[in-house]
Amino acid sequence: MKAGAPEPPAGRPDPAEASDTAHAAGSAAAGRRGGLLLAPMEGLMDATLRDLITRVGGVERCVSEFVRITDTLLPARVFHRMVPELRQGGRTPAGVPVRVQLLGSDAACLADNAALLATLGPEGVDLNFGCPARTVNRHRGGAALLDEPELIGRIVEAVRRAVPAHLPVSAKMRLGLRDDRRARDCAQAIEAAGACELVVHARLQVHGYRPPAYWDRIATLREAVCLPLVANGEIWTVEDARRCRAESGCERLMLGRGAVADPGLARAILAADAGGADAAAETDPVADLTAADLTASQGAGVADAVPGAAVGLPWTQVLGLLEDFWSRTTHSLEPRHRAGRLKQWLQLLRLRHPEAAQAYAELRTEHDSRVIALRLFGHLPTRPSVGPG
């Protein structure tokens, strides 16, 4: 502990010492080229999708959808419901660790919930300072805190003190709300409070998910902090990954919608890394699209599918994942929610697969589960394969 620093509460680790412990445990992974994380995407990246994408390969770690923390100590069953991997040692069935993300603005309550979460065996705790959703921001969650680096620091420090020293505590942030003037302050506050890693989504809150991502601004933050930074935002292809690394200076990347549109993206990036620069310089029509063409499905319009685009996973294999996904969906969701979940994934898949675009067009107004299964797979759903929970 630094001289003059206050003593931590009895039984709680000092943030700096705990950060050193957690950072040492993950330093090998942090420095390894090709480290790819799967992003938390509220309402999309649930345990089923985490299972299917990590089954393909290439993902080093997942971060869960955020667990919203207000003024209540959540019971363990809430964490288990939202992150069922906690019942499997904090890993997907493929063995990929899942870090649980918390969102809120009450440092003490976040710390109490993190302490409870730590008893459930997570891979680590992540803190959300990047969600751009207005419903979240109105309640002082996610990116709404980016104008308050002092509060961000208090939250990270409180959570760091609340959990065992060996348990990683990381954070995810955007560049700012309406501008990036306080991005450096936020990153430095997160580092000083004891976080072992920071993922930076290279957009402002007001940008939502509109292209482009400003990867070069992450490079500026790297000059201001020493903790490992992970670049995130608009990584759809192997070529995007190469350019993001070059512009941000980060070797490690977090994949979001790109990995949902192409479940083999992480594996393809790792293959390109192993094959050198020639393999990374793939011929990919997606790389030549305009930013508007890659508008996210979260908003008005999705780009048309790109015939002939190089993808990490061929459609025949994607269709197998879709069938497993649909089988689980029909057994776990009420009928009125089933079609929407499938179409949500098809909307992103059609960015990379023309077959998905065709399927989406045919099923867009269909809600009957039996009809959907027969049109897409040629038969009715079977029993789902074993998944988390």
Q: Which residues belong to the active site?
A: 131
Residues 164, 166, 167, 173, Cα dihedral to 10°: 110
Q: How far is CA 108 from CA 53, 69, 70, 118, 156, in A?
A: 35, 10, 10, 15, 10
Q: How far is CA 75 from CA 78, 106, 123, 156, 261, in A?
A: 6, 17, 19, 22, 34
What crossing angle do the helices spanning 47-56 and 315-332 adopt, rounded to 10°? 160
DSSP for 246-292, written as a single string: HHH--S-EEE-HHHHH-TTHHHHHHHHHHH-HHHHS---GGGGS-GG
> Do 42 and 131 touch, CB atoms closer than 8 A?
yes
Cα distance between residue 160 and residue 23, in whole Å: 12
Cα distance between residue 75 and residue 90, in whole Å: 17
Long-range CB pairs of 4-10, under 8 A, 24+ apart, other chains included: 8/161, 9/161
Tokens representing 144 are: 């709404």
Tokens representing 156 are: 């990270």
Tokens representing 207 are: 């940008």
Q: What does DSSP assign to residue 125?
A: E
> Do 280 and 243 touch, CB atoms closer than 8 A?
no
